[in-house]
């Protein structure tokens, strides 16, 4: 029961998508800390800040998530995704608590013809992916009692995510072009937060040592970015959005600084087998997010 964890789950990150979802769901069990109090650019202060909170477990949602910008600001992305994660794991080991650390589908190279499993070799193609991969390795080596959750294509009603980008672009443009040859699993941030909250009691019941390791966990069902955009627009029509013309394009028609994986679908069987949870089908979860977006505007 999550209610047994009153004030003892500490989330790193405050205004991000996942931190916001966790704080909504976790109520009195969860405390979120982010910048300026805890900033991964100032590693020396992390131990003291964390000790003050006396957590039983930490969830690290903090990350540099600007995929293209990371190509130009490698050092800054590495500082957050690698060195910040490493120091946090070091601190968790020092005070002997487990760490749930969030990672990404972009650690895979995207060339596999079927969903990735956790033991597939990782070969990130971008600075963001490499910084997250370095973070994973450092987290497990600094604190072996860490649980790494690789997720993908996270969206919510707040933040700089694909759903908000498509809706905002549709308000300004009469036509949109979206790549139709990159596939993945859209993941609702609230669904992911819900799964994380449900595994915490299990981690303590079974022991962190038994649960440690890497898990893929993303929304059920796959899509191309184009298919994802199509559903976003279909749902948004119910709220009066004037639909732009939507055209499927090839990756080569949408040049980006960072190369996105062609296929980053995740096989989440291990997570289901160990924790008994599968995230909802993404096409049902998107409806709630679209309704939240239009109802807050
Ligand atoms: N977004 C996506 O599509 C995906 C995300 N992921 C991973 O999931 C996790 C959560 O992502 P999401 O919630 O979408 O990310 P967001 O970009 O929405 O939020 C990022 C969070 O990182 C925090 N942060 C950034 N810089 C620093 C810093 N210098 N010091 C401390 N905290 C900092 C922000 O802090 P503050 O609250 O202070 O603003 C914010 O809470 C990340 O690990 C990400 O790599 C994985 C796959 C897909
Ligand atoms: C907005 C837009 C994007 N695209 C393309 C660009 C790119 O190939 C793909 C996705 O675009 P974005 O840049 O919005 O998404 P991106 O920032 O690549 O999203 C990633 O974020 C990081 C943090 C992760 O960890 C990943 O799982 C993934 O969610 O869609 C279009 O073709 N048309 C458009 O109008």
Contact criterion met (CB below 8 Å) for 146 and 180: no
Looking at the chain, the whole-number percentage of residues with pLDDT higher than 90 is: 94
Ligand 1 atom 8 nearest Cα: 102
Distance, CA of 211 to CA of 15 (rounded, Å): 28
Query: Taking 70 as the threshold, does the pLDDT of residue 45 lie above it?
Result: yes
* ipTM exceeds 0.95: yes
Task: For a ligand 2 pocket test, name from 70, 71, 179, 223 the mutation site with the most ligand atoms within 8 angstroms of its C-beta.
Answer: 179
Task: Work out the percent of the chain whose per-residue pLDDT is above 70.
Answer: 99
- Identify whether the C-beta of residue 25 lies closer than 8 Å to the C-beta of residue 193: yes
Q: Which ligand is nearest to the CA of 133?
A: 1
* Residue pair 240/92 in contact by the 8 Å Cβ criterion: no
Tens of pLDDT, residue by residue over 222-231, are: 999 999 999 9
The whole-number pLDDT of residue 117 equals: 98
Q: Which ligand 1 atom is at minimum distance from the Cα of 84?
A: 30
β-partners of residue 14 are none
Nearest CA to ligand 2 atom 8: 260
Contact 266, 218 (CB under 8 A): yes
Per mean pLDDT, which range of 20-34, 117-131, 266-280 is the poorest?
20-34
- Residue with the bigger pLDDT between 25 and 63: it is 63
Distance CA 267, CA 105 (A): 11
Is 128 one of the annotated active-site residues of the chain? yes
What is d(CA 95, CA 215) in angstroms, rounded to the nearest whole number? 24
Q: What is the pLDDT of residue 19?
A: 97
Q: State the average pLDDT for the chain.
A: 96
pLDDT score for 297: 62
Question: What lines the ligand 1 site, CB under 6 Å?
Answer: 13-19, 34-35, 38-41, 61-63, 65, 80, 102, 104, 132, 151-154, 159, 161
**Does 252 have pLDDT greater than 80?**
yes
Ligand 2: residues with CB < 6 A are: 65, 67, 104-106, 152-154, 162, 165, 169, 176-179, 182, 225, 254, 256, 260
Interatomic CA distance for residues 231 and 186, integer angstroms: 11
State the distance from the centre of ligand 1 to the C-alpha of 16, rounded, in angstroms: 5
Q: What is the DSSP string of 119-147?
A: TSPP---SHHHHHHHHHHHHHHHH-SSEE
Q: Are 45 and 2 in contact (CB under 8 A)?
A: no
**Contact present, 265 and 222 (Cβ < 8 Å):** yes
| pLDDT score of 238 | 95
pLDDT tens readout for residues 55-69: 999 999 999 999 999
Please report the beta strands in the chain, taking only residues with DSSP state E, as ranges in sequence order.
9-12, 30-33, 57-60, 99-104, 146-151, 154-155, 175-179, 183-184, 187-188, 213-216, 223-224, 245-249
- DSSP letter for 174, please: S
111-147 as b/e, with b when 16 or more CB fall inside 10 Å? Answer: ebeebbebebebebbbbbbbbbbbbbebbbebbebbb
| 130: Cβ contacts below 8 Å, ≥ 6 apart | 124
> What pLDDT shows up at residue 159?
84
Instruction: Give the ligand 2 atom nearest the CA of 182.
Output: 8
Q: What are phi and psi of 286, to 5 degrees?
A: -65, -30
pLDDT digits over 256-279, tens only? 999 999 999 999 999 999 999 999
User: Ligand 2 mean position to 45 CA, how many Å?
Assistant: 34
Q: What average pLDDT does this structure show over 69-98?
A: 98
* CATH of 9-296 among 3.40.50.720, 3.10.20.30, 3.60.10.10, 3.40.50.1100: 3.40.50.720
Torsion of CA 211, 217, 221, 226, to 10 degrees: -170
The answer to whether residue 135 scores a pLDDT higher than 70 is yes
| The pair of three-digit structure tokens given for residue 250, joined into one six-digit string | 């090839």
At 170-204, the pLDDT tens digits run 999 999 999 999 999 999 999 999 999 999 999 99
Contact present, 125 and 133 (Cβ < 8 Å): no
Please pick, among 108, 128, 183, 215, the residue that the annotation labels catalytic.
128
Q: Nearest residue CA, atom 1 of ligand 2?
A: 165
The pLDDT tens digits of the residues spanning 5-21 come to 777 999 999 999 999 99
Residue 34 Cα: closest atom of ligand 1: 38
């Amino acid at each position: 029961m999550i209610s047994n964890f009153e004030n003892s789950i500490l989330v790193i990150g405050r205004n991000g998508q996942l931190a916001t979802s966790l704080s909504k769901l976790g109520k009195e069990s969860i405390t979120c800390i982010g910048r300026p109090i805890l900033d991964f650019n100032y590693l020396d202060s992390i131990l003291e800040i964390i000790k003050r909170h006396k957590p039983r477990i930490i969830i690290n949602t903090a990350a540099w998530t600007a995929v293209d910008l990371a190509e130009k600001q490698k050092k800054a992305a590495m500082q957050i995704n690698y060195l910040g994660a490493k120091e946090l794991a070091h601190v968790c080991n020092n005070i002997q608590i487990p760490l749930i650390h969030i990672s990404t589908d972009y650690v895979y190279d995207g060339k596999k013809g079927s969903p990735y499993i956790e033991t597939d070799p990782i070969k990130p193609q971008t600075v963001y992916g490499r910084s997250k991969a370095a973070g994973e390795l450092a987290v497990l080596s600094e604190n072996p009692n860490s649980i790494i959750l690789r997720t993908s294509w996270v969206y919510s009603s707040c933040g700089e995510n694909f759903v908000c980008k498509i809706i905002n672009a549709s308000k300004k443009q009469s036509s949109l072009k979206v790549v139709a040859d990159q596939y993945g699993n859209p993941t609702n941030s609230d669904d992911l937060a819900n799964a994380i909250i449900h595994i915490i009691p299990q981690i303590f019941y079974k022991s962190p040592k038994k649960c440690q390791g890497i898990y893929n966990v993303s929304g059920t069902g796959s899509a191309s970015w184009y298919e994802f955009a199509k559903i976003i627009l279909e749902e948004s029509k119910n709220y009066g959005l004037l639909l732009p013309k939507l055209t499927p394009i090839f990756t080569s028609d949408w040049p980006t600084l960072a190369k996105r994986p062609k296929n980053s679908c995740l096989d989440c069987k291990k997570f289901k087998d160990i924790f008994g949870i599968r995230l909802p089908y993404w096409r049902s979860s998107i409806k709630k997010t679209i309704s939240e977006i239009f109802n807050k505007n």
